[in-house]
Every structure is written in structure tokens, then in C-alpha cells.
Structure 1
Amino acid sequence: MAARIYQIPRNAMQSGRALTDKWVLEFEPAEARKPDPLTGWAGSGDTQRQVKLTFPSCEAAKAYAEKYGIIFLVVATPEKKLKIQAYADNFR
């Protein structure tokens, strides 16, 4: 059972930073999804895919994974790039 730990990214459609301080532990899929012959919907028998745990810090998520013997990978948060420009730059 493998999992990845990452920080929730900021929503690109909004300027707010709500929930961006939370860390998530999400399990990797154990089996591929396959279409159901009757309905055509994609599904699998992997129930761990539905589990998403949130933590206040990366250390808390790591401690939880180590406590329960979960192999984890910490995905680094991308660096924030600010493009600072004046409104007048739009007309040059």
C-alpha cells in the first residue's frame, strides 16, 4: 500500500488561499480502472482510492504513515512565481 503526501494547491480560478495550508495523504491506485460491461462506467475493486486524509502539517502526515506502515512519497509544493507588473505595461 503506497501513498503520496502533498499540499493542497491554490485554486487557479480564484484568488483566495483557503485550505492551502492543509496536507493530504492519498493512496496510489492498486489496480487499473476497467469499464463495466453493463453500464460502461469505469470502476475497480480498489477501495483505497476513495480515501483522502487531511493533516495540518507534513510532519503529521508522515507520522501517520509511519505509524501504520504505509510507504509514502512526499510531493514537493511548487514554488510560487509572482509576475509583478504595472497596469501600464498592458499598453506598451
Structure 2
Amino acid sequence: MFPQDEFTHLPATGLYPVFAKEGAGSERAAFALPKGQISSVLESPIGLHIIRCDEIFPSGLLAFDEVREQIIERQFDKRQRKAQRDWIVACLAD
């Protein structure tokens, strides 16, 4: 009843999901930016974008101990949002 709009909900990384899905110039442009630089205008299916690179994180795997709390937080938030949606649907059904 309440579909999640993938374009209005940003993941914790702050990247629009559309860039990862496109696999075209937008993604390459976003990940090719040096730290502190601003992209030219990029076009995607949802509009025009300008991207600023604030920080570059090295790629690789993180140890579970480093991300344990973040995983717990995200799972809690996900379950809380689902519970809220379910409650609203139940209230509207009454």
C-alpha cells in the first residue's frame, strides 16, 4: 500500500540509487571526482544533478567489529519503519 520510492529515499551513503543502477556516465563521473571537486551537470532518468566529492573512502572490507553497531542501527530502523507502515495500514483498514 505504501511503496517505497527509490528516488526519494537516500541510502546512508548519500548516493542516489539511480547512479548505481544506470551504470553509464553518471556513475563513472561520480566516482572519478577528486576530493573537493564538483562535477559538471549530470543527467539521469529523474533529472539533472551536480555532485560534490567531500571525502574518498578506500575500498575494501571492514571488520565486523567496526560495523556491528551500524548494522544493528540499520536493522532497527528498517524494522521500525516497517512496523509504522504496518500500523498505518491497519488503522486505515479499520
Please report the TM-score for the alignment, with normalisation by the length of structure 1. 0.21
More helix by share: 2
Kindly indicate whether structure 1 or structure 2 has the higher relative contact order, using CA contacts under 8 Å at least 6 residues apart. Answer: 1
- Over alpha carbons, which structure has the higher Rg? 1
Please report the TM-score for the alignment, with normalisation by the length of structure 2. 0.21
